[in-house]
Amino acid sequence: MYSILRILLIGLFAVQSLQGDDTTTAQDPKGEESSTAVSGESPASKEKSSAPAGETAVPAGKGAASAAESTASADEASGSSADTEDSATLDSTATPADSSEVSGAEPSDLSPVITTDQTWIDESHSWLYNESQEMIEWFDGLFAPDGTDPLKTPPSRFRLGLFAEFNLDEDKDFKLSPVIDIKTDIHLPNLERRLKLFISTRDPTALPDENIADANNELRVGATRDFFKNWNTSIGVKARWPPEAFANVEWAPTYKLPRMWTLYPKVKPFWDSEKGFGGMGSMIADKWSKRWLFRQVVSGKWDQKSYDDDKNDANDPDNYQYGQDGEGYRWSLSSVIGFVPALLDERDYGRRVGGADVADGWGLRGRIDGNLAQTLQYDLTLFRKGPLYKDFVFYVIAPEVSWERSANWKAEYSVQIGFEVLLWGDRTIIRR
């Protein structure tokens, strides 16, 4: 039954798209045209409407809201859009027309990315997102007070990345290091206002530009809440037995400066059951020149476990840090230059640092890190990231050469290859 319904919906949508009576053409600042369906109902009135309890609300980035975003792309180019873009315009595939008015289908049957060219990949992508979002909305609705309408559950975000790092040796053999990158953002406004659940493999205590293959990629589950503007707290556990808890407080504002500069400072005190108390601070400075990105990052941290380890290493005659006490501090400097026609509408601070927020582009990154006593490592990475399928499957290829003090500064070569799948109910790509 569902298969027949999907076929009918796709056919009706394709017929409507061919009529052309209800379409208008929007011009972006680059001179590219994108067609967006226009209905008789105003975007504002649609945006105010919400799905009844038990039904799936239309995710942000679809429907009339999408049409409003597409026609407003010229206004977003003035610098009032997302964090990292000042002259960004929306990707036409990321903000499609509302097919519910064309086909009369319920919102739960629609994908966050609707196009006339549907394949089994699109249908699977749509089904997986809609089923997940419907379950989240049902669960959140259970906590709505009796006699009141439930608050609308915002669109969720799911990310799955699979990466493999090939470490090349002199004898041409290689060592494979698989890495899984999982991140979810789930908002539950009826459970508690501004509460958000997350599942992630990103280490919240790692330096923001640390290589994902070198970080602690254990699965973590927790909740985060914004208490004040630019402030949020997170608490959770590592998915191991017995579970290990962690908590942190984060301040991360955004400052837009003249001449296309944007600053992203962050301060994060934290506690981890394995590392103890610690703190981290960083600053990202972005500069755009047309589609060229120049990004400078400085960051540092301290934690109790690193302090104890550095003391032991400094007193160990067999350790390469013998006599050099880092006192628990770690710092890093990195610089990225890249040609980036498109960015992901990324909210994760750490993904901006290393260029993981790129949706389509090339980049070269240099990085230096060390402790309080000495420099420990140099890295040079060339990366290419681009769309593998539409705007929700991307590939990454990143060859790298590194020099480490622990290896007596011998050059080590590696290449990271992977892909990531995004199930986002809101805007995905921002084109520059």
What pLDDT does residue 181 have? Answer: 77
User: Which residue from 77, 68, 72, 80 is spatially nearest to 432, judged by alpha carbons?
Assistant: 77
* Of 83, 288, 299, 287, the residue nearest 209 (C-alpha): 299
Assigned token pair, 364:
């070269």
Q: Which residue has the tokens 């499609």?
A: 96
Question: CA-to-CA distance for 338 and 383, rounded, in angstroms?
Answer: 9
pLDDT of amino acid 302: 96
Q: Could you list the beta-strand ranges (E) of 66-110.
A: 89-90
Tokens 């990154």 found at: 365
* Contact predicate 380/414, CB 8 Å: no
Question: CATH assignment of 156-431?
Answer: 2.40.160.40
Which part of the chain has CATH 2.40.160.40? 156-431
Whole-number pLDDT of residue 170: 62
**Residue found under tokens 């809440």:** 225
Q: What pLDDT was estimated at residue 153?
A: 86
Residues of the chain with confidence (pLDDT) below 50: 1-116
The kind and range of the H/E element at 89 are: strand 89-90
Burial bucket for residue 20 (CB in 10 Å: 0-12, 13-18, 19+):
exposed
Q: How far apart are CA 357 and CA 283, in angstroms?
A: 16
pLDDT at 171 (0 to 100):
55
Token pair recorded at residue 98 = 């509302």
Q: How many residues does the chain have?
A: 432
